Chains A and B, each alone.
Chain A
């Protein structure tokens, strides 16, 4: 019932995501939806590729309202290995942006921009996002898991709450920008979770 799109039971798409997708498409057109989904697919492909290169089997892909999440058994991975896998997503987006701008001209400006926005957003040091994971891994690698946990809890919690407060403030002042609402809500939830000490429960994004 839950598995709307069942590719050998490995890809799950949540109904909330479908609803959001339709809303986005109706508001912005299918072309732009394709652009965003293309950039997101590239991002996940980056993760996937590095995980595969390191011989880690990928258990599945879950796509929800706040993004996609690769399920893989990372227990056997080293810190640098996992760091590489985490950074491969944003890396793929940057690579694509560079490749698209190398020939010159701005024919692909929208897709380039979509890749860069996705990359920067994912590098925020808030835990379900790649930036938070990377920060945790770096700190844990350097000073142990407890230090990593502390670093990401405070950095993530404060960044998330500050960003969501800033977004809420600007939205209230301008009275619009509805597309920022899910982002603000997601950040608020993530920040609250971090500061409550439950950020580690989240898996990859």
Chain B
């Protein structure tokens, strides 16, 4: 090092002074004797730690699948909310290309970093999709405010009251303010079915004030109140096509029946059927709980035909 450079840059010189010395010493040590320098030992420890973590994870996964599932469940929340890296890049790239303005891109990036859409959330948006406000909605709201349906408060004899409520729904909901994937027709099922459980109807199919979020939303199923642990029976013969857990549905399972019909059982404390198995009408598939977005133990029951939501009340009250 020459004196010309000496006063120039503190850091570079300090680093330079250290660098060749250390590297040279290491090389010499390695060549002459087979012992390890401090730096080399540190790196060995790093390597061992990384390999150790990897082996530990693989071992836990192979030997203790149950424990791994628990850990996964614990990590699931933060992982599901993890940064959607692709969406961040995509938003920035699109803004740079002039496709979206800066404010929109910033919103997209924030959304992607802190609340990325996860499958469960997408499901929720699809199911509880918001609707454009319309004057028909206001009329409906006024009507409901004036005359609270008896089903909400006292639901002892559900069949009679519910018959009225569903007729009411038929009259009040025109095609304009119904979500596109909803049909109010009473389909005639050409297979045997039964109610998944006998419980009090605590929330009907149709628009309602969301119990947790507070806004007017379409309720795509019926809620049957029952105690936690009550047996949930399968609606009809079919195959369990999905068992899962989501933030809104909690623990749920979906059964596919013949004729393009599917039923969904949500907020369970436990799903006893496993995905892919054939189930019989009346067979126990789950137990009532209040997992997910629920304010008390109940079964949220949905009925779909080829992706269109039907009002399950006709088939539940029929028992």
Residues A35 and B89 in contact, CB atoms below 8 Å apart: yes
Contacts A140-B9, A174-B115, A177-B83 given: A75-B16 contact, CB under 8 Å?
yes
Q: For chain A, which range describes its interface: under 10, 10 to 19, 20 to 34, or 35 or more residues?
A: 35 or more
Contacts A1-B44, A176-B77 given: A111-B93 contact, CB under 8 Å?
yes
Contacts of B79 in A (CB 8 A): 27, 176, 178
Give the docked Cα–Cα distance between A176 and B79 (Å).
Answer: 7
Residues A2 and B93 in contact, CB atoms below 8 Å apart: no
B174 proximal to A (CB < 8 A): no
Give the docked Cα–Cα distance between A104 and B97 (Å).
Answer: 7
Contacts A15-B50, A106-B97 given: A174-B86 contact, CB under 8 Å?
no
Give the docked Cα–Cα distance between A106 and B91 (Å).
Answer: 10
- Which of B10, B81, B90 contacts A177, CB < 8 Å? B81
Which residue, B16, B86, B92, B97, has most C-beta atoms of chain A within 10 A?
A: B97
Contacts of B51 in A (CB 8 A): 15
For the residues of A in contact with B, the DSSP-based class is helix
Give the docked Cα–Cα distance between A113 and B88 (Å).
Answer: 7
Q: Looking across the interface, which residue of chain A has its beta carbon closest to that of B44?
A: A1
Contacts of A116 in B (CB 8 A): 92-93, 96
- Kindly provide the distance from the CB of A201 to the nearest chain B CB, expressed in whole angstroms: 7
Q: Which of B143-186 contact A (CB under 8 A)?
A: none
Q: Which of B247-302 contact A (CB under 8 A)?
A: none
Give the docked Cα–Cα distance between A42 and B232 (Å).
Answer: 58
Give the docked Cα–Cα distance between A174 and B10 (Å).
Answer: 42
Residues B81 and A174 in contact, CB atoms below 8 Å apart: yes
Q: Mark A168-186, 1 if CB is under 8 A from B, else 0.
A: 0010001111111000000
Can you list 17 pairs linking A and B with CB atoms under 8 Å apart? A2-B47, A32-B86, A75-B12, A75-B16, A105-B97, A106-B99, A109-B93, A110-B93, A112-B89, A112-B93, A113-B94, A113-B96, A117-B88, A117-B92, A177-B114, A180-B113, A200-B10
Seen from chain B, the residues whose Cβ lies within 8 Å of a Cβ on chain A are 1, 5, 7-16, 40, 43-44, 46-47, 50-51, 53-54, 77-83, 85-86, 88-94, 96-99, 113-115
